[in-house]
Homo-oligomer: A and B are copies of this chain.
């Protein structure tokens, strides 16, 4: 299933989505993961501050981190994210390194980096499902986060389950039509 786009876009934008049904038996190689985070690395950012930070737990390679991220998730997310071979957190450095002042764009730029990561994943047949449903406090505690580093998202990364092989309830959620607001709802003044 591809995203039902209204205007021509690169294939990767048709392919990117956030699945619930992951293939629990298919691991993600180190090389693949490096490429995902490399894409994030080249995002744009205010003053090129690159405020994005990540915590990355890989099943079988860094199980303690995987379990830590899992533990921060709300129940509704644990339910499906337990099948993802990689669980990560996306965090932002809230202050500029060059002058210590608050970076108004920290969360914005983390979003840019994480979108890049998700698009690189989509191009590789992988998927990233980002979640707001996790405990920021628990993350702060478990990973002993320094002041000024703010967790914003949890992420499940892996291969989506092949249709018909995943858990029924999750596949049902994945088969819902993908919807977006119309372009003219996003553009509130001016136009093309």
Given contacts A42-B3, A105-B107, A132-B105, contact A55 B13 (CB under 8 A): no
Interface residue tally of chain A, by bracket?
35 or more
Interface contact B188-A54, CB-CB below 8 Å: yes
How many copies are assembled?
A: 2
Interface contact A111-B120, CB-CB below 8 Å: no
Compute how far the CA of A1 lies from the CA of B181 in the bound complex, rounded to whole angstroms.
36
B residues less than 8 Å from A73 (CB atoms): none
B residues less than 8 Å from A37 (CB atoms): 7, 183, 186-187, 192
Interface contact B7-A34, CB-CB below 8 Å: yes
Chain A interface residues (CB < 8 Å from chain B): 3, 5-10, 12-14, 16, 18, 30-31, 33-35, 37-44, 46-48, 50, 52-58, 61-62, 65-66, 88, 91, 104-105, 107-116, 118-120, 123, 130, 132, 143, 149, 152-153, 179-181, 183, 186-192
